[in-house]
Amino acid sequence: MIYMSNRVTQLLGIQYPIIQGAMQSVATAKLAAAVSNGGGLGVIAAGGLSADKLREQIHESRDLTDKPVAVNLMLMATNIPELLQVILAEKVPVVTTGAGTPKLFIDDLHAAGIKVIPVVPNVKIAKKMVAIGADAVIAEGMEGGGHIGTLTSQAVWPQIADAIDVPLIAAGGIADGRGVVSALALGAEAVQCGTIFSIAKESPVGDNWRQAVINADDTSTVVVGQNVRVASRALKNAETTALLQVEADQADRAAFNQRLDTALNKAVREDDAENGVMYSGQIAGLIKASLPAAEVVTYLMADARKVQAAMVQL
Ligand SMILES: Cc1cc2nc3c(=O)[nH]c(=O)nc-3n(C[C@H](O)[C@H](O)[C@H](O)COP(=O)(O)O)c2cc1C
């Protein structure tokens, strides 16, 4: 069975091998706690938060669940030292990292008993992360929402699985049982999903964002920021069209990033589905309902078991 003898569930102290991906401005304490209460691992996104806000979010998550809740550090942020102090003081059980290497502080986290799981886009970076002591790696294919690499899930998962001896968590393009089973077949021991959780009931996004995901089809997303090395996948709208023009005009990387952050906040806080940026993966076309986060976890598990049971014997 999918959930038996799983190194990831044991490592993280969770029931099911389902992780809610960090989502800047979207993966709040409320969403993360709901996922953890459902037996998966919820992750609070620290991207865009001050140290005080992160502490508040950690405390809020602990008011909502006694299960483990992780924190994600986007290493492009300029306040990483302050965020790390909060993570160490609060003894957060698990930290996932993106957009950089946790090399300089992984020993401090381990000394505090914190598991460290970097998100990686290719074999070379996966091996580097294992060499510095990562407890597991999350391999994310370019079909996923948010910041992405260049390889597809189908290609990158098995190649990373063969290159590492720590558990592999697969991300990018998973929103049903077929996705979960395909990840396991390609060498993963758990999955991380973003887009399907982005419109869970406990997510802070508004009705326009929810409806945009529900209405999306397989070609509704676009990658912006490739020219300035911040490739990010989002639902196509007026803002992504404008961003493509900005990067064609040789935008400055920092300024582009700033505009992305502002537009993401506009989408979350004002529910502006045209002038905001709604990060989403290509799998948005498969998502047809906004469910409570715990139901997403049970749906993914039940559907995966159904798919496994119905598979043709070779
Ligand atoms: C709205 C949104 C924001 C995201 N922000 C982050 C982030 O702050 N940090 C991070 O490591 N990944 C981020 N991601 C990536 C997700 O954590 C996850 O790996 C990805 O969504 C998986 O692919 P999927 O969207 O096909 O499920 C984001 C994704 C979305 C959809």
Span 24-80, pLDDT tens digits = 999 999 999 999 999 999 999 999 999 999 999 999 999 999 999 999 999 988 899
- pLDDT for position 62: 98
List, in order, residues 6 or more apart from 60 with CB less than 8 Å away.
Answer: 29, 30, 33
- Which ligand 1 atom sits nearest the alpha carbon of residue 173? 26
Instruction: Give the mutation target among 19, 20, 24, 240 for probing the ligand 1 site: most ligand atoms within 8 A of CB.
Output: 24
Nearest CA to ligand 1 atom 9: 22
Tokens of 179: 């996705």
pLDDT of residue 58: 98
Residue located nearest, by CA, to atom 1 of ligand 1: 279
Closest CA to 177 of 167, 189, 191: 191
| 241-294: pLDDT as tens digits | 999 999 888 779 989 999 999 999 999 999 999 999 999 999 999 999 999 999
Q: Is the CB of 121 under 6 A from ligand 1?
A: no
Our answer on whether the CB atom of 97 is closer than 6 Å to any ligand 1 atom is no
The answer to whether 133 and 145 have CB atoms below 8 angstroms apart is: no
Residue 2: predicted pLDDT: 55
> Which domains occur in the chain, in start order?
7-203+289-310 (3.20.20.70), 221-279 (no CATH)
pLDDT score of 262 = 96
174 Cβ closer than 6 Å to some ligand 1 atom: yes
Residue 14: per-residue pLDDT? 96
Find the mean pLDDT for residues 5-27.
Answer: 94
Residues 6+ apart with CB under 8 A from 185: none
CA distance 59 to 57: 5
- 254-275 residues labelled b (16+ CB within 10 A) or e (exposed): eebbebbeebbbbbbeebbbee
How much is the mean pLDDT over the chain? 96
Q: Which residues pair with 191 in a beta bridge?
A: 18, 170
CB 280 within 8 A of CB 233: yes
- Coil vs helix vs strand at 53: helix
Kindly state the tokens that stand for 26. Answer: 């979207």
263 lines ligand 1 (CB under 6 A): no
pLDDT score for 43: 98
Cα-to-centroid distance, 21 and ligand 1 (Å)? 5
* pLDDT for 5 beyond 70: no
